[in-house]
Each structure stands twice: as C-alpha cells, then as structure tokens.
Amino acid sequence: MNGSGVATFSTSVLTATTHAIVADYYGDSNFVASSGTLAGGQIVRGQPSISISDVSIAEGDSGTKLANFTVMLSAASDLTVTVNFATANGTANSSDYQSTSGTVTFSPTETTQTVSVTLNGDTAFEADDTYFVNLSSAANATIADNQGLGTILNDDAQGGIFSFSQSSYSVGESDGSITITVNRSGDLTGSASVGYATPDNSASFAVVPCLTVDGTASSRCDFTAASGRLAFAPAKARRRLPS
Ligand SMILES: [Ca+2]
Ligand SMILES: [Ca+2]
C-alpha cells in the first residue's frame, strides 16, 4: 500500500480459520519499498448456525397460553442475523393454536430469541396434537435445525367429570321425594354414563326399631332404595336423578 492508501481485501473463498495477509507497501523516497506479513493472524470466522427448540405444553381448559420456542445462534456474530419463521399444522389446526409468522432478529452479540405461539384451551378430550415452527431464509447465518415441534398435551378426562350439584341435600320427611342433580363438566364431546345407588345400611340397623331416633336413615325404615344409571348425551351437562 502507499502512504495514504487503505488496504482493502476482498474474497469469497476464505475458509474459517486463521489466515496471514501479505502486503506490498511503498511510499516516497524516504520509505523503502518492501513487503511482509501483517502482524497477527487474520481470523476468518464461519457463519454461526441457527436452531430452534421443541416445546411440549399442556393445553389448558380455557383462554390461551403461550408456547415459547427458543431460537438459538451457535455463536454471537458481528453482523445482524435474521431468519424468518412461520407456523404449520401437524395434527393441530386453527382451533388448537393461532398461526403466526415473522422475522427473528439477532443484534450483534445476541444469541437467543423467542418465538411465541398462542394455544387455545378447551375441555374436549382428544389425542395430543402437534404443529411446527419452521425457519427459512436466514441472513448472515446458516440454519442447522429448521423445525421446532410443538406438542399440545391433552389434559382432559375422556367423558368429562361427574359431580353432585351440592355437597349435601336436606329433605323434609313428609316431602315424599328429593331431586338430586348430577353435573357433567369437562369433555362433553361424546356420550357418557354414571351409575348411582343409595347405600343400604338396613342390615346393620336390623336390631334397631325404626322409631329410634339415631340420626341415620335406612331404606328399611326411612326411604325407598334407588339405583340406576344416568346417561348423558354429547354436549349435555346436566341430568336429574329420578325422584
Ligand atoms: Ca384442556
Ligand atoms: Ca382438549
């Protein structure tokens, strides 16, 4: 190079390792032309690579929740690195998650970013569902793993959950009957049934006269035993026990 110039060096074939740069330099009559190797090795770094994590998360029963995918750069870069992302259906579809796409940007020195996918909760029993976050079109980096697998884990009981409408019921002795409501919650997508029966303690109270007031009712003295099965059609959440 001459006294006022700036050396520029451009190539597209350097491999990622340490390279020596040899320069010829010359100047005016006081500067003896010479040549030599610049002090220190000139390090050529390979482009970092991008990968994305997999995420498994329980679905939830209502509202939404986020599945956070980590997008990683194998090493910090001096350049801004970008990569596009887009979701894609597996067995999951738009009823299960909200599709999204965009660009992930790593500023110099950054190595981690997050892509969030919004999942929709529900109470239907179903198999675990899958979807993908695909990476494409990286700038200033290569892509080592271009696909994040999202798994929405089923957290619903098949057929739903049965419960009484109250923790206890009271009835007047002269009322003749009592109606007890059984609720079905959760998965209502299919039919389901549940058996019921009044416990019969008659045998253990056989020696006790019915007129004895001991706070315990028995079918021998106080009520007619009842048993049967309550059938719930799909999407029906309430049934009444027959009186
Ligand atoms: Ca659920
Ligand atoms: Ca579900």
Tell me the backbone φ, ψ of residue 234, rounded to 5 degrees. -55, 140
CA of 33 to the centre of ligand 1 (A): 79
pLDDT tens figures, 194-204: 999 988 665 55
E-strand spans in the chain?
18-19, 22-25, 34-37, 42-43, 49-52, 55-58, 64-73, 81-89, 97-98, 101-106, 112-120, 129-139, 142-143, 147-153, 161-164, 181-185, 192-197, 227-232, 238-240
Instruction: Give 190 or 116, the one with higher predicted confidence.
Output: 116
Whether 88 contacts 134, CB under 8 Å: yes
CA of 105 to the centre of ligand 1 (A): 33
What pLDDT was estimated at residue 3?
45
- pLDDT of 4 above 60: no
Instruction: Count the Cβ atoms, other than its own, within 10 Å of residue 39.
Output: 6
CA of 129 to the centre of ligand 1 (A): 12
CA 152 to chain centre: 5
Confidence of residue 72 (pLDDT cuts 50, 70, 90): very high
What pLDDT was estimated at residue 12?
65
Q: What is the mean pLDDT of the chain?
A: 86
pLDDT tens figures, 21-65: 777 766 777 766 666 666 666 677 789 999 999 999 999 999 999
Least confident span in 1-15, 36-50, 122-136: 1-15
Domains in the chain, CATH or no CATH each: 1-44 (no CATH), 49-153 (2.60.40.2030), 161-240 (no CATH)
CA of 121 to the centre of ligand 2 (A): 7
Whether 43 contacts 98, CB under 8 Å: no
Q: Report residue 204 as tokens.
A: 């253990």
CA of 14 to the centre of ligand 1 (A): 54
HSE-up (13 A, CA, CB side) for residue 105 = 3
HSE-up (13 A, CA, CB side) for residue 151 = 9
Whether 85 contacts 66, CB under 8 Å: no
CA of 67 to the centre of ligand 1 (A): 15
CA distance 147 to 71: 10
Average pLDDT over residues 211-238: 81
CA distance 237 to 40: 78
What pLDDT was estimated at residue 30?
73
Q: Give the ligand at the shortest distance from the Cα of 62.
A: 1
CA of 134 to the centre of ligand 1 (A): 25
CA of 239 to the centre of ligand 1 (A): 23
Q: In the beta sheet, which residues pair with residue 182?
A: 164, 239
Cβ neighbours of residue 127 under 8 Å, at least 6 residues apart?
Answer: 91, 154
* Residues whose beta carbons lie less than 5 angstroms from ion ligand 2: 59, 122, 124, 126, 156
Whether 236 contacts 184, CB under 8 Å: yes
Q: Give the ligand at the shortest distance from the Cα of 155.
A: 1
Q: Give the ligand at the shortest distance from the Cα of 64.
A: 1
CA of 125 to the centre of ligand 2 (A): 5
Whether 86 contacts 134, CB under 8 Å: yes
What pLDDT was estimated at residue 1?
44
CA of 229 to the centre of ligand 1 (A): 27
Q: How large is the C-alpha radius of gyration of the chain?
A: 37
CA of 94 to the centre of ligand 2 (A): 13
